[in-house]
Amino acid sequence: MSGGYGIFVIRHENDKGEYLDEGNHYGGNPFDPCGGAFVVSARSFKEKGFVFNNAYLYASEQERGAMDKKPQYRQSAVVFLMAGVVLLLFAAEELFHSGWLFYAQLAGIILLVVYAIVSSIRIAKKGGRV
């Protein structure tokens, strides 16, 4: 019998409903990815470090020099913050095997995608490149 709602993990249960394969499955700490996302988010909120944004990545050297990076930093910061929360939910699901966290993960992913699209449109309308 297989159970659980994990997206990255298929868990197997015995007849008593006990998980047969406990623990994380990629060999690392399940909190590492969310910590990395939170670090990138914090640096982006402070407008320090690399700009992880398509508008910046696809811009030419001249455009990058003249570009106001504040909207791109903010968008990247919020997206990485939301991604960190979603990854934190994945880690919590990996530890607690609750099943209901799947729906919180799904809602977080949907909100993240909607925010990324809407904020890109708003930046483009204000004159920034997206």
What is residue 128's predicted lDDT score, i.e. its pLDDT? Answer: 56
Residue 45 within a domain? yes
Residue 98 within a domain? yes
Please state the pTM of the whole predicted model: 0.73
Mean pLDDT taken over the chain? 81
Residue 82 within a domain? yes
Domain that holds residue 99: 30-125
Q: Residue 12: helix, strand or coil by DSSP?
A: strand
Residue 17 within a domain? no
As a whole number of angstroms, the distance between CA 123 and CA 116 comes to: 11
Residue 61 within a domain? yes
Whether the pLDDT of residue 67 is over 70: the answer is: yes
Residue 113 within a domain? yes
pLDDT per position as a tens digit, 100-113: 898 999 999 999 99
What is residue 129's predicted lDDT score, i.e. its pLDDT? Answer: 55
Residue 12 within a domain? no
Smallest Cα–Cα separation from 83: which of 111, 55, 45?
A: 111
Residues above pLDDT 90, as percent of the chain:
38
How many residues belong to the chain?
Answer: 130
As a whole number of angstroms, the distance between CA 115 and CA 82 comes to: 9
Domain count, the chain: 1
Question: Around Cβ 75, how many Cβ atoms within 10 Å?
Answer: 24
- Where is pLDDT greater, at 63 or 10? 63
Residue 15 within a domain? no
Q: Which residues have CB under 8 Å from 25's CB, separation 6+? A: 8, 9
Whether the pLDDT of residue 46 is over 70: the answer is: yes
As a whole number of angstroms, the distance between CA 52 and CA 6 comes to: 28
Whether the pLDDT of residue 68 is over 90: the answer is: no
